[in-house]
């Protein structure tokens, strides 16, 4: 493994809340684009959508049955035609007649009620009414669902199945949505190699880049892997410059500590503004946030630590909210619950520690309320990626005691469903 001589850090340690504030103030929505209905799932709508006409655009039947004149009462009627949703015959209902009609078909002229097929019988083109409906029963009048000019969807919402169906309903095959941020991801270090290659003594396989690609995509952004940058200044600089020229932001892992060959911070300091270089955080203390001006645009760079857990926890707490804001999402924060610890938890008393945990819900029949408990996922070392496996929460342990007693109430940030 490459020798990395340690040197003092020149960056002040800031609290996680201050780090989040600095990131929020220095990232912005990336812009909008026109997309098609089939591209819309999960996207953020960037324009108000209005109904261009009434929906339904004509009176229709809500059931299979017969369109008729209600005033005829229970008299037998002559069946004079049929209408289906896709095939409309030119027929008019008059006294003593009825038209067979299928769900969704336009109501024929003259009809003012629809009787369900279950309440009738037929005999040689004669309709026998067994139970007369009320006037206007089983009819969807023009404009019942939407009226021309009505605001259907407001800009800023997330588009899912119902929303996309409504956009199609008002005949908008294309519309404006917030563009997905395109984020480049780079791993650094001569000691890491691509999975599938032969690792020499002292080398390890690159896991961070693949975890981060998935995490970026889960945050609604597009992720582009630019591979492994060697621990050389020139090689790293070339890759970073390419990333910032072609993409909306950059996430790196490794190279932000205080080793002699940890080059990322020094390089980024020359290229842009370092807003912070250390956070009072465990895991993730060396987390670095930088903005670089490229062609008049301020682009964010997140320098994550090299240890796998430090990288993912830092991403979850700081990068994910930034990507959501860049993508136009209104809700940036994960849900937070108060939970009861199931056992003693060791804690670094001088730091904010985010412990990987499994939160379980419990129902109290006496109060009809739910309460929540949490247990850790085992050893919490920064290199042990297994501690993220199965975790549905990060327990926030604030500075203070060197252990959290069993039964203590702590905050849990939910990163998965319980």
More confident residue, 35 or 264: 35
Give the total residue count for the chain.
418
- pLDDT at position 103 is 96
For the four alpha carbons of 231, 233, 236 and 238, in that order, the dihedral sign comes to negative
Residue 10 has pLDDT above 70, yes or no: yes
Cα separation, 70 vs 93, whole angstroms: 11
At 311 the three-state DSSP class reads: helix
pTM of the model: 0.87
* pLDDT interval class at 331 (50, 70, 90): very high
Is 13-31+179-326 CATH 3.40.980.10?
A: yes
The predicted-structure confidence for 218-255, as pLDDT tens digits, reads as follows 999 999 999 998 778 888 899 999 999 999 999 999 87
* Fold of the domain spanning 336-414: Beta-clip (2.40.340)
Kind and range of the H or E run holding 196: none
* pLDDT interval class at 339 (50, 70, 90): very high
- pLDDT at position 89 is 81
The predicted-structure confidence for 175-202, as pLDDT tens digits, reads as follows 999 999 999 999 998 889 999 999 999 9
CATH of region 43-54+144-178: 3.90.105.10
> What's domain 60-140's architecture?
Beta Complex (2.170)
**For the chain, which residues make up each domain, given as ranges?**
13-31+179-326, 43-54+144-178, 60-140, 336-414
Mean pLDDT of 89-113: 95
Residues 377 and 386: beta-carbon distance below 8 Å: yes
- Measured torsion, CA atoms of residues 102, 103, 104, 109, in degrees rounded to the nearest 10: 50
């Amino acid at each position: 493994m490459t020798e990395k001589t340690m040197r003092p850090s020149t960056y002040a340690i800031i609290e996680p809340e201050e780090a989040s504030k600095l990131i929020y103030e220095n990232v912005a929505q990336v812009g909008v684009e026109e997309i098609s209905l089939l591209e819309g799932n999960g996207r953020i709508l960037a324009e108000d959508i209005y109904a261009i006409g009434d929906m339904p655009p004509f009176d229709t039947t809500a059931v299979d049955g017969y369109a008729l004149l209600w005033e005829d009462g229970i008299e037998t009627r002559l069946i004079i035609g049929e209408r289906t949703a896709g095939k409309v015959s030119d027929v008019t209902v008059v006294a003593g007649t009825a038209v067979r009609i299928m769900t969704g078909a336009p109501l024929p002229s003259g009809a003012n009620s629809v009787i369900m097929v279950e309440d009738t019988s037929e005999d040689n083109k004669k309709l026998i009414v067994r139970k007369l409906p009320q006037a206007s029963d089983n009819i969807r009048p023009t404009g019942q669902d939407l009226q021309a000019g009505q605001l259907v969807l407001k800009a800023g919402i997330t588009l899912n199945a119902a929303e996309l169906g409504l956009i199609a309903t008002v005949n908008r095959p294309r519309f404006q949505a917030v563009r997905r941020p395109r984020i480049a991801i780079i791993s650094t270090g001569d000691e890491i190699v691509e999975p599938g290659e032969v690792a020499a003594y002292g080398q390890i396989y690159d896991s961070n880049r693949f975890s981060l690609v998935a995490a970026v995509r889960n945050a609604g952004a597009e992720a582009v892997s630019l591979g492994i940058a060697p621990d050389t200044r020139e090689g790293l600089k070339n890759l970073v410059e390419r990333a910032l020229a072609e993409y909306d932001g950059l996430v790196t892992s490794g190279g932000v500590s205080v080793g002699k060959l940890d080059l990322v911070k020094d390089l980024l300091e020359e290229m842009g503004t370092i807003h912070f270089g250390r956070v009072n955080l465990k895991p993730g203390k060396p987390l670095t946030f930088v903005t670089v001006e490229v062609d008049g645009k301020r682009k964010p760079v997140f320098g994550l630590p090299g240890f796998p857990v430090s990288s993912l926890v830092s991403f979850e707490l700081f990068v994910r909210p930034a990507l959501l804001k860049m993508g136009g999402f209104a809700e940036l924060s994960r849900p937070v619950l108060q939970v009861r610890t199931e056992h003693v938890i060791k804690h670094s008393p001088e730091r904010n520690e985010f412990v990987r945990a499994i939160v379980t819900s419990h129902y109290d029949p006496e109060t009809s309320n739910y309460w929540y408990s949490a247990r850790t996922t085992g050893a919490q070392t920064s290199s042990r990626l297994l501690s993220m496996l199965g975790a549905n929460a990060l327990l926030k342990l604030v500075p203070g005691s060197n252990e959290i007693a069993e039964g203590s109430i702590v905050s849990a940030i939910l990163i998965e469903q319980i």
